[in-house]
């Protein structure tokens, strides 16, 4: 029985030293992806993924490339076993995995772009200190309201990631963030959890990074002519369609919030029966489960989980 399937590609924060090493050793297809990505980017992605050190992997310009390559290595093995998806979606940089899977961008172009995207987002940051917090159990409209009021006072705090209906990540200057945390608790938030990520990603503070990245996007070619896989945009939770201005969408993506909450809703509306997270961590399937405990979720991050899934699929 063929289940209606979605492939999910993780974003920054899912990385871990050692990811992909067993896949590289076991599968020729995975080796090819790591070797090609290293060749295209001029960065030894294998070494960064397999050996670290962690501080090297945590640099934005390396993290994005390392995560994308690991997801694509797993994807390549799935393709060899004719395992396909009807819908693809990623979180932030993960959207590039979805775009490559759907053929909207080529593998080579995807690697080049994500290398430049990581570089721009890691290099062109404002000098101020920023922090991020996850707000649990409060509807996003109330979070937007609180942030708006603080912003009107000349401070900076905004929603950056709408993960699912019960969790929104806010980003801002430390003092503004602290004020927001207190006001959000007063407004009924169950929890406000400070995150390790500190950059003001997916906010207007990355406008300079966006300008630099646009120059890279100008060189790229995109194909939205023959779409066989539905790819959901982070920008607004809608599906890429023929004639979309992909360059503009991916540039805006850097300074606009990630709407994974809308992507989840759309996948439910599309009748998705199994959700497969391709890459390290269980963040995205975790979000899916928060919205629907009964959802059939699968995580593929190493040889064991990959082989288990292939065996089940081929029965």
Q: Which CATH class is domain 5-124+205-313?
A: alpha beta
Check for a shared fold between 5-124+205-313 and 130-198. Answer: no
- Distance between CA 130 and CA 229 in Å, rounded? 37
296-301 average pLDDT score: 98
Cβ distance 48 to 66 under 8 Å?
A: yes
Q: Provide the residue ranges of all domains of the chain, joining segments of one domain with +.
A: 5-124+205-313, 130-198
Q: Which of 38, 41, 140, 202 is catalytic?
A: 202
Q: Count Cα neighbours of 59 within 13 Å in the Cβ-side half-sphere.
A: 14
Token pair, residue 27, equals 């599968």
Q: pTM of the prediction?
A: 0.96
Quick check: 1 pLDDT over 70? no
> Tens of pLDDT along 61-91?
999 999 999 999 999 999 999 999 999 999 9
Q: CA distances (Å), 64 to each of 93, 96, 150, 231, 285, in order? A: 6, 10, 32, 19, 20
165 is catalytic: no
Q: How confident is the model at residue 198 (pLDDT cuts 50, 70, 90)?
A: low
Q: Which of 38, 92, 133, 140 is catalytic?
A: 92
212 is catalytic: no
Q: Which CATH class is domain 130-198?
A: alpha beta
């Amino acid at each position: 029985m063929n289940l209606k399937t979605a492939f999910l590609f993780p974003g920054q924060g899912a990385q871990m030293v050692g990811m992909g090493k067993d896949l590289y050793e076991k599968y020729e297809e995975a080796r090819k992806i790591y070797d090609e990505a290293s060749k295209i980017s001029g960065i030894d992605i294998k070494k960064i993924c397999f050996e670290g050190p962690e501080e090297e992997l945590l640099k934005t310009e390396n993290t994005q490339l390392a995560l994308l390559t690991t997801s694509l290595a797993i994807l390549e093995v799935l393709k060899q076993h004719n395992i396909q998806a009807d819908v693809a979606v990623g979180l932030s940089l993960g959207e590039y995995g979805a775009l490559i899977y759907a053929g909207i961008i080529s593998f080579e172009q995807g690697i080049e772009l994500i290398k430049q995207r990581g570089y721009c987002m890691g290099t062109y940051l404002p000098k101020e200190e920023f922090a991020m917090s996850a707000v649990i159990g409060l509807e996003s409209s109330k979070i937007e309201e609180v942030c708006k009021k603080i912003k009107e006072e000349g401070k900076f705090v905004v929603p950056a990631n709408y993960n699912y209906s019960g969790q929104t990540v806010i980003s801002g200057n430390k003092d503004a963030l602290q004020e927001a945390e207190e006001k959000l608790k007063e407004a009924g938030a169950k929890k406000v959890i400070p995150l390790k990520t500190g950059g003001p990603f997916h906010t207007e503070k990355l406008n300079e990074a966006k300008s630099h990245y646009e120059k890279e996007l100008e060189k790229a070619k995109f194909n939205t002519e023959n779409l066989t896989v539905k790819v959901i945009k982070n920008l607004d939770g809608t599906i890429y369609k023929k004639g979309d201005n992909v360059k503009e969408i991916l540039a805006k993506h850097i300074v606009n919030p990630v709407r994974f909450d809308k992507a989840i809703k759309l996948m439910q509306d599309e009748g998705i029966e199994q959700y497969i997270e391709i890459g390290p961590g269980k963040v995205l399937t975790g979000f899916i489960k928060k919205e629907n405990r009964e959802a059939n979720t699968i995580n593929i991050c190493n040889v064991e989980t990959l082989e288990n899934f292939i065996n089940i699929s081929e029965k």
